[in-house]
Amino acid sequence: MSDSMGMSSKPGLFRQGEVLSTDRTRIGYQSIGDGPGILLVHGALRDSNDYTRLATALSRSFTVHLMDRRGRGLSGPQGSEYAMDKECEDVQAVRKATGADYLIGHSYGGLVSLELASMDPSIAKVGLYEPGVLLRPMDDAWMRLSEQALLRNDRRGAFAHFVRGMGQTPLTRLPYWYAKLILRLMVRGEHWRKIARLLPQNLKEHREVQRLSSSYLNYGGTQADVLVIQGDKSPDATKEAMTALTGAMNRSKLETVSGLDHFGPENGGGPDRIASLLANFFLIPEGV
């Protein structure tokens, strides 16, 4: 069972709260707005602060809770026994504290949301932006190389192995040393410092993605209404996975947003456009 630790105000529109998860790990969250409760579960190499624009846009009609998944931000460490079930327990703890019946998940956070919704029929609706679903296992050589780089404290190297290994950018086709150099030039400042801090967590999370490859076949019994959103600039492999996922679930719909890639919920005009789709979805009566 989770233990609520209350909520406090902070400067600006967001309110902070925290709760203890099943294993007593502290899980912090930010809240904004008034109305039906939505809990947003963020992606890898991210924290709650990356989704404040999306939350603000949704706050016109909803109370949006932005949790920090374990291992970053307002929350405690991942822990030595980290696994998907810990993520699901954390989401449930925040749901209990906030009363949120709806979920939004992006990337790895979308995979967490799918896993939980498939087990808990009390979750009424789930909005997903390109959840981290694989149709088949990925080549995991990059994970071993990234781990070795982290052991050498070579975080630039670990990041380069990750980006090349995921196969979603032209850097995949470049030599490792060249990709590492380009990433050093492209990713700098506070953006890099956040990524560098989260690389160990990212590795553990992608091992869970690998373990759950083909998991989309297990979501057919999900009772929640599910909206899957993808960007038309995302790789074909991502679009193939989104089509397979929605095809596996009876109460799901797939929407494509022009001009957006995998990071649509964070960048440019993406948050407002995605918020409009999500708001319409959550305001429609359940089961319609």
Measure the CA–CA gap between 276 and 180, rounded to whole angstroms.
37
The helix/strand count (H/E) of the chain reads as 9, 9
Give the total number of structural domains in the chain.
Answer: 2
* CA nearest neighbour of 162 among 111, 132, 200: 200
Same domain, 24 and 125: yes
Instruction: State whether 235 and 116 are in the same domain.
Output: yes
8 falls in which pLDDT band (50, 70, 90)? very low
Look at residue 10 and tell me whether its pLDDT is greater than 70.
Answer: no
228 and 206 belong to one structural domain: no
The answer on 268 and 131 residing in a single domain is yes
Same domain, 130 and 101: yes
Residues 146, 61 share a domain: no
Query: Are 186 and 236 contained in the same domain?
Result: no
Evaluate if residue 2 carries a pLDDT over 80.
no
Asked if 102 and 224 sit in the same domain, the reply is: yes
Same domain? 201 vs 235 = no
pLDDT at 226: 98
What's the DSSP call for residue 285? P
* pLDDT on residue 142: 97
Q: What separation in angstroms does the CA of 124 have from each of 14, 140, 195, 209, 249?
A: 25, 35, 33, 24, 14
Task: Tell me how far CA of residue 245 lies from CA of 174, 206, 239, 251, 263, in angstroms.
Answer: 31, 19, 10, 11, 19
Residue 288 in any domain: the answer is no
Mean pLDDT in residue range 230-255: 96
- Taking CA 248 as the corner, what is the angle to CA 242 and CA 249, rounded to the nearest 5 degrees? 100
Instruction: Identify the three-state secondary structure at position 49.
Output: helix
Tens of pLDDT, residues 89-112 = 999 999 999 999 999 999 999 999
Which whole number is the average pLDDT over 227-248? 96
Say whether pLDDT at 9 is over 80: no
- Residue 253 and residue 155 share a domain: no
Rounded CA separation 33/3 (Å)? 23
228 belongs to a structural domain: yes
Between the alpha carbon of residue 251 and those of residues 116, 124, 126, 191, 230, the distances in Å are 16, 11, 10, 37, 17
| Stretch 4-10: mean pLDDT | 47
Residue 267: pLDDT band with limits 50, 70, 90: confident
pTM value? 0.94
**Cβ neighbours around 31 below 10 Å, total:** 23
**Is the model's pLDDT at 4 over the cut of 50?**
no
Highest mean pLDDT among 125-129, 167-171, 234-238: 125-129
Name the DSSP letter for residue 60: T
Mean pLDDT of 263-288: 91
Closest CA to 111 of 41, 207, 27: 41
CA 42 to chain centre: 3
Overall average pLDDT of the 1-28 stretch: 75
What is the amino acid identity at position 137? P
Please tell me whether residues 60 and 154 are part of one structural domain. no
- Given its phi and psi angles, is residue 175 left (phi above 0), alpha (psi -120 to 50 degrees) or beta? beta
pLDDT in tens, 144-182: 999 999 999 999 999 999 999 998 888 999 999 999 999
- Across 141-283, the runs of DSSP E, i.e. the strands, are 225-231, 252-257
Q: Tell me, what's the pLDDT at 286? A: 72
CATH number of the domain within which 271 lies = 3.40.50.1820
**Cα 123 off chain centre by:** 17
pLDDT attached to residue 287:
62
Find the domain containing 47 and state its range.
Answer: 3-135+213-283
**Are residues 99 and 27 part of one domain?**
yes
Residue 222, pLDDT > 50, answer yes
